[in-house]
Structures are given as structure tokens and as C-alpha cells.
Amino acid sequence: MSVSPRWWALTAVLALGCASAQQPTMATAQAQPRQQPPANPNDVWASTYQPLPSHTTLIRNATVLTAAGPRIEGGSVLLRDGKIAAVGRDIQAPADATVIDGTGKWVTPGLIDDHSHLGVYAAPGGQALSDGNEATNPNTADVWAEHSVWPQDPQFALALAGGVTTIQILPGSANLFGGRTVVVKNVPARTVQAMKFPGAPWGLKMACGENPKRVYENRGPSTRMGNTAGYREAFIQAQEYRDRMQRWREEGADPAKRPTRNLKLETLAGALDGDILVHWHCYRADDMANAMAVAREFGFHIATFEHAVEAYKIPDLLKQAGVCANMWADWWGFKQEAYDGIQQNAAIVNAAGACAIIHSDDANGIQRLNQETGKAIASGRRLGIDVPYEDAIQWTTINPATALGIGDRTGSLVQGKMADVVLWTGDPFSVYSHAEKVFIDGALVYDRDDPSHQPVSDFLVGNEPSQGEGRQP
């Protein structure tokens, strides 16, 4: 009998409880050797993600959008050993394969939301679960979003039902430097480390414009020129810190002579070196241009401009700098710097050959990221810009994957990549279509027709009525 994913964590806890009789006594515990810190302290926070058990699966007779080339009508996708084994037509089913008839249905890569606050602003909401903005200093580069992520957030399962398999979780935008981001696989887990996308680089959330101006108007900096000075001063300090650490390593890395760690400067130095990817909240075109100038001054690359409401004014600059515009489909006008937003933003950026991404920044929007893309397609067409589906699917798959530093492993249906796949009931950009089945690393993690494959947070156990097999309280 299949078991609902909500019981995985409970089963693990019970197993630990059963073993409690074998726990060491106080005397034996005191005799254990003292643990030595790792050579790289950040290894403590490394991913412990393990793919779920998967089964060889062939989806055939579907319309396939690979995000890596033209659509395939009557196409097939073979998932084996957690990877994409083959994509094309007339793929023979291995003897051990589960075969799914995709007639009238569509297949895409798993959707990737490049900008989310799930887990740090968890449901059911309220101050107790408001953990996304450390609004105590303009520079909080020392904080990490993963230290706030609550894996029990019920919103993760809702996003999964919308076909979202990978999520970047960011701190809020109150500060010039908001802290580190984390990229996760959208799977049930007890710890955030068990969700962390293996090998994904950290990101650095930065913010410009009205948000930090408003939050620090009585404490400073409270102007755009003050904000820019704050970025530059912080990166000057980070350069000095990086140089001190480099000299220490070159001189033999004697632990007794190691410079004192500084978590803020450690993160900023990582951004300067390209090990930590910069994701910069900016709405206005002039703010984005200033940010790119700061990046040129200090020699680092900006991976994305978050929200980028006026990206349509500078697509040539974005293309030249290799910066992705991470946009809403149609949010605008809710504050002054958003007044000049247009619904054709993504279509214009894409038509100019720059990198376009559609994101949610919203716990409801992440559940229908495919529909947000559909709205952006329609807006472009009204302006006379034809957005091919082959381009549009990239906005929520390979483009965000590349911006997150994981495009070599996921984001497109290419042989050898992770089998993060969605089977849709129809056209994925239609409001009438749903994610029918969702696979992560080849494992079926969501099935619209099977409650035993509809994960429910342990937080909700006992708070909702049972709904069939696998959902018994």
C-alpha cells in the first residue's frame, strides 16, 4: 500500500523513539571525543538531500516542450535512475518501465521559481512565522534565509501541485544587503538541509530603491545616493577582508594566525569571487543601471534583477551585461517606483535577446506560475510580439536554472539531466490545465489523481479531514 509523504517525517521520529532504549548513558556520553570543527565551517550547512526512490517511467504520445529546442509533437520522455534517459519520438519502453499515455497532454521540465519566500514567511502567517526580513541594519549579509526556512510550511505542497520542483528562497528586501538565499528541491523533509539542492551556490539578496529608503529613513541611509555609498563601502571592506584571507592562505594557513571570521564580509567576499550569486531587487531602469555600474567597479556579476519592472527600458544593457530580468507577469502601480510597469515587460526583454524569467514573489502566484507565463505571452501578442512557446517555457525552467547556477543539472529535458518533469493535462499556459503528475529526480512526488502522492505537511495532520487512502489521520 502506498503511504502519504506526510508520514515520512513521523515514521523517522518513531524510529528514533524506538531506538531510545539504546541511547548512551551520561557516563558514556561524557567519554565521547570532542568533535573537531570542519576545515570549511560552511560544510556544516551542506545539503543532505537524497533523491526519493524512483521507477523507470516512459511518458509517450505527448506534446513535449524541452526548453532546449523545438516542441516535439507525439513525443516521449524516458525517466530512468533519476535522470532523463531519452527524449524524442518512438522511444521503446524498457521491460521494467511504467508507461503513461500522454495523448492530448503536454510534458515540460519542472518549473523553477527564482524568487520565493516560502518557509521564511510560512503559512498560516502572522508575526510568529515572519522570518524573512532582518530589518535591524542596512547590511545584514551575515544572515542566511535557510536559517529561517520552516520545512513544514504547507505552501510547499501547494507549489508542488502547480508543477514547481525547484525554489530559490530569499530574505526580504528591507536592507541594502538582505543576506544569503538558498535553493531547494520541493520535497517533504524534516530539515532545510534535506531540501537543499545539492551543489547549488548560495545567492546574495540585495535591494535598491524605495524599500531600504523607507525602512531606514530615520536611521539612514535614506536616499538613493546614500544606498549606493552603502554598497560601495561594504564591497571595499569585503575586498580588504578577502585580501587578508588570501594572504593568510598563501602564508601557510596557520590556524593560530587566521584572521577573525566576519560573516558579513565572508558573504560579500564570496559575491566578489563569483562563488555567491547576486540577486538584486530593483524596479527602476536607472537603479538597475547604477547597480550594474557598482558591479563593474568591483568586478562582480549580477545574476538577476529581481522584479525588474522597468527592464523593458534597458534590455540592451541587460543583454550586454548578461543579467537576467526576473519579472512578474503584470504587477505594477502598487508604489511609485512600480508606476511605469507594463504587461509586455517580459515579451520585450525576450524579443531583445536578453534573459527573461517569470517569478512569483507570492505564495499564491507560485501555485500558478504556468498561468503567469501565459498572461505574459498574451500581453506580448497584444503588442504584436509573438512569443513562441519554445521561448516562454524557458522563462520558468532553463533561464532561472542558469541564473541559479544549476542549469547544467536541471531546467530542460536533456539526456543526463535530473528527471524533474511535469505532465500537464493540456496546454501548460492555459488556465484550464493542471499539473497532473510531477516527478523530482524521477520519483513521482505528486499525482493529481492519487491522494497518496499528494504531500501534506505534518503541521496539518489533524487539522484537515481525511481525503481517501494515504490521508487517514
Grid cell for residue 213? 529608503
The one-digit pLDDT tens for each residue of the chain (473 residues) are 344 544 444 444 444 444 444 555 655 556 666 777 777 888 899 999 999 999 999 999 999 999 999 999 999 999 999 999 999 998 999 999 999 999 999 999 999 999 999 999 999 988 999 999 999 999 999 999 999 999 999 999 999 999 999 999 999 999 999 999 999 999 999 999 999 999 999 999 999 999 999 999 999 899 999 999 999 999 999 999 999 999 999 999 998 999 999 999 999 999 999 999 999 999 999 999 999 999 999 999 999 999 999 999 999 999 999 999 999 999 999 999 999 999 999 999 999 999 999 999 999 999 999 999 999 999 999 999 999 999 999 999 999 999 999 999 999 999 999 999 999 999 999 999 999 999 999 999 999 999 999 998 888 887 766 544 444 33
Whole-number pLDDT of residue 39: 75
Whole-number pLDDT of residue 139: 98
Query: Which residue(s) pair with 305 in the sheet?
Result: 280, 325
Whole-number pLDDT of residue 154: 95
Query: Which residue(s) pair with 24 in the sheet?
Result: none
- The Cα–Cα gap between 402 and 42 comes to 23
* Cβ contact 123:440 at 8 Å: no
Burial 281-304 (b: 16+ CB within 10 A, else e): bbbbbebbebbbebbeebebebbb
Q: What are the DSSP calls for 235-287, one per residue?
A: HHHHHHHHHHHHHHHHTT--GGGPPPP-HHHHHHHHHHHTSSEEEEEE-SHHH
- The Cα–Cα gap between 304 and 322 comes to 9
Taking Cα atoms as reference points, which of 388, 406, 21 lies closest to residue 198? 406
Whole-number pLDDT of residue 465: 60
Whole-number pLDDT of residue 458: 83
Whole-number pLDDT of residue 53: 96
- The Cα–Cα gap between 250 and 258 comes to 12
Whole-number pLDDT of residue 297: 98
Backbone phi, then psi, for 194, in 5-degree steps? -75, -10
Question: What SS3 string covers 434-448?
Answer: CEEEEEECCEEEEEC
What domains can you pick out in the chain, each with its CATH number? 1-27+48-109+414-473 (2.30.40.10), 111-410 (3.20.20.140)
- The Cα–Cα gap between 179 and 185 comes to 20
Whole-number pLDDT of residue 40: 84
- The Cα–Cα gap between 103 and 441 comes to 23
Whole-number pLDDT of residue 469: 46
Grid cell for residue 317? 544593457
Beta carbons within 10 angstroms of residue 201's beta carbon: 17
* Cβ contact 51:194 at 8 Å: no
Grid cell for residue 371? 498561468
